[in-house]
Amino acid sequence: MSKETRKLTEDIIDLGKLIIVAVIMIVVVFMVIKSLIGEVPAYVASIILGLGGIFLYATNKSIRDHINNWLKGNK
């Protein structure tokens, strides 16, 4: 396997881990807000937090680098 293929495979695995963590966090936030405030605000808040997280990851290089290093196990 070439270096490019190996790097692409590692990137796909890392993004999969990121998606799983993000989904779990959104579900936890949804459940907490639903129990405290109600169902409609929980949907709104989870959508806003999800889109906000995606926006931060896509636009902020330092956050993206930090998350990628965390996923790879580097400090």
3-state secondary structure the chain: CCHHHHHHHHHHHHHHHHHHHHHHHHHHHHHHHHHHCCHHHHHHHHHHHHHHHHHHHHHCHHHHHHHHHHHHCCC
Q: What is the pLDDT of residue 74?
A: 62
pLDDT, tens digit, 9 for 90 and up, residues 14-63:
888 888 888 888 888 888 888 888 888 888 887 888 888 888 878 888 88
pTM listed for this prediction: 0.61
Return the structure tokens found at 40. 């409609």
